[in-house]
Amino acid sequence: MQSPSHLRPDDTSTWYDDAVDAYQARHFDVAAALVDRILARDPGHAGCLHLRGLLALVSNQIEAAQSWVERAIRIQPEPIFFNTLYAIYLRLNDFDSAVQTIRQGLALHPAFPVLHYNLALTLQHEERLEEAAISYRRTLELQPDNSAAHNNLGLVYKNLGAWDDAERHYRHAVTLGPTNLVARNNLGNALLATGRYEEAWPYFEDRWASFKDAEGRPQPVRPQLPLPQWKGEGPGAANRVERPHARGIRLLVVHEQGYGDSLQFVRYLPLALERFAQVGYICPPSLRRLYEQSLCSRWPALVLLDAVPTDLNDFDWYCPLMSLPMAFGTRLDNIPAATPYLYADPECAAPWRAKLAELPNPELPRVGVVWAGGHSGWAADRVRSLTAAQMAPLLALPHVRWISLQKTDDPEKRADAASNARLKDWTDEFTDFADTAALIENLDLVISVDTSVAHLAAAMGKPVWLLNRFAGCWRWLQNRDDSPWYPSLRVFTQSRRGNWDEVLARVAAALQQHFLSHDGQKESSLPNCENQAP
């Protein structure tokens, strides 16, 4: 890389090429010096104005970046300039202007695939799915081998409930990009959602590519342990365990994902003890007491750990928790679905029973309710959760003792004043899931969105009515109102994307049938919430 002082003073083209090379090599000071030299001689050099905008952008000078790029566009409206301005608007969280900018670029350059792709990405982010599908299809007309576009179009189709189209594009994405782990995971999810578990589990092993933290940021970190992963082999299989152990062969199970995932898949830990002398599970603190009461008290060879041990000599194999279904060859017809496998401590449940008995009309059916999930930063949380205002018509039903199980740190997910008047809320007294289980033990029914409390109550064998989003999580399958994972769970799925009103109307009718049809007076006093405003 030449410094500016050694460049030929009459070769602007060379200066510009070197400036681009310096920018791409992240030698930003060199690039800036070259750009300044060119602009001093040619203030209307559109490429340099654009590059100056890029340099401002990497320095987080957003307004300056916008000004430089807009000047470049006025002089020479290249498609890549529109794409950079689009990126600037994204940094400003101005999605409307980002979309408008892309459309302006496409009006001048309709065959530029990057603009179509980024337009589709933004429309997808804004839940404008039909429009996003059009833009992805146009991208693929121009770039048929674009693995990312196939994957994203598959996700759009999945969210629209077009599962066959989704699967087709996921398969194209994987064929075109065998290392596209996000597409492999999405294909695995589609296969799971349609019940093809045996084909799905190997693709599901790439799920880490799609992991996100609580704020929705990617976290594609697969557990890396210096142990072989157990995938269903005999524990002493073919030289995998090199030394004999009088104590027997041991398995370390690694926690992953959320609380609901743990609550669903800990059912496999006792099964693993049929293969191994001891099973260690790295357990989240808020689940430890519940699992000690429910599992360790019955299976002493199950050991709960706080973290991956620094010395792994006590273990011979490891397995991520959600890889256990694959290791056990789980199919729809052999899911280990016996419940309960989690229990409340009777001593912890007794005080809640006394509190409920002291309330007015203690004979009323006791229904726990959760209307919003955790992880507010996740895109999926926006579509799986309701607001308290949306729940108001259901909570207005008389002759039900509504008990809040909504535990959240997000103020927007707390009950509003009107809902609080209908709810009994003791959640501030919960310290962990053992406390939640103790209250659930005294309830007749739990109505919940797709979150950890639904798994907890169903694992306890309690009746659970799941408020399920359209084209929801794979584990609830498609076109079913029951669950092969939980015999006591009933699924109420949106018939149209985003329409919770009709779900709550069906739940209200089911409540009347479940609890009140034996009492004509109570039945006649139930309002019809189907036509009420949310």
Token pair in block for residue 210: 């799609």
Q: Are residues 304 and 370 in the same domain?
A: no
Q: Are residues 203 and 224 in the same domain?
A: no
Q: Are residues 113 and 217 in the same domain?
A: no
Q: Are residues 317 and 362 in the same domain?
A: no
Q: Does the structure show a pLDDT above 50 at 7?
A: no
Phi/psi at 443 (nearest 5 deg)?
A: -100, 160
Q: Are residues 187 and 44 in the same domain?
A: yes
Residue 341 lies in a domain: no
For position 215, what pLDDT does the model report? 57
Q: Are residues 181 and 108 in the same domain?
A: yes
In sign, the C-alpha dihedral spanning 244, 245, 249, 254 is negative
Encode pLDDT of 501-528 as tens digits.
999 999 999 999 988 654 444 443 333 3
Which residue matches tokens 């002291």? 358
Q: Are residues 24 and 85 in the same domain?
A: yes
Q: Are residues 237 and 169 in the same domain?
A: no
The mean-pLDDT minimum among 45-54, 127-136, 368-377 falls in 368-377
Q: What is the dihedral of CA 21, 22, 25, 26, to 10 degrees?
A: -140
Residues facing residue 423 across a β-bridge: 402
Q: Does the structure show a pLDDT above 50 at 195?
A: yes
Q: Are residues 419 and 485 in the same domain?
A: yes
E runs forming strands in 295-335: 302-305, 317-320
Encode pLDDT of 265-324 as tens digits.
999 999 999 999 999 999 999 999 999 999 999 999 999 999 999 999 999 999 999 999
Encode pLDDT of 415-474 as tens digits.
776 777 789 999 999 999 999 999 999 999 999 999 999 999 999 999 999 999 999 999
Which residue matches tokens 């203690």? 362
The total number of structural domains in the chain stands at 3
Burial of residue 519, with CB atoms counted within 10 A of its CB: 0-12 exposed, 13-18 middle, 19 or more buried: exposed
Confidence of residue 216 (pLDDT cuts 50, 70, 90): low
- Tell which of 192, 208, 224 closes a domain: 208
Phi/psi at 148 (nearest 5 deg)?
A: -65, -40
Residue 478 lies in a domain: yes
CATH number of the domain that 178 lies in?
Answer: 1.25.40.10
Instruction: Say how many residues make up the chain.
Output: 534
CB proximity list for 299: less than 8 A, separation 6 or greater:
269, 270, 273
Q: Are residues 194 and 299 in the same domain?
A: no
Confidence of residue 245 (pLDDT cuts 50, 70, 90): low
For position 526, what pLDDT does the model report? 38
In whole angstroms, give the CA distance from residue 168 to residue 138. 17
For position 533, what pLDDT does the model report? 32
Q: Are residues 390 and 320 in the same domain?
A: no
Confidence of residue 78 (pLDDT cuts 50, 70, 90): very high
CB proximity list for 257: less than 8 A, separation 6 or greater:
211, 322
Q: What is the mean pLDDT of the chain?
A: 91
Encode pLDDT of 426-435 as tens digits.
999 999 999 9
For position 332, what pLDDT does the model report? 97
Token pair in block for residue 183: 């597409």
For position 330, what pLDDT does the model report? 98
Parent domain of 311? 211-336
Q: What is the mean pLDDT of residues 470-490?
A: 97
Q: Directed axis angle between helix 181-193 and helix 147-159, to 10°?
A: 30
Q: Are residues 187 and 322 in the same domain?
A: no
For position 412, what pLDDT does the model report? 75
Question: Bigger pLDDT: 348 or 532?
Answer: 348
CATH number of the domain that 483 lies in?
Answer: 3.40.50.2000
Q: Is 303 helix (H, G, I), strand (E, B) or coil?
A: strand
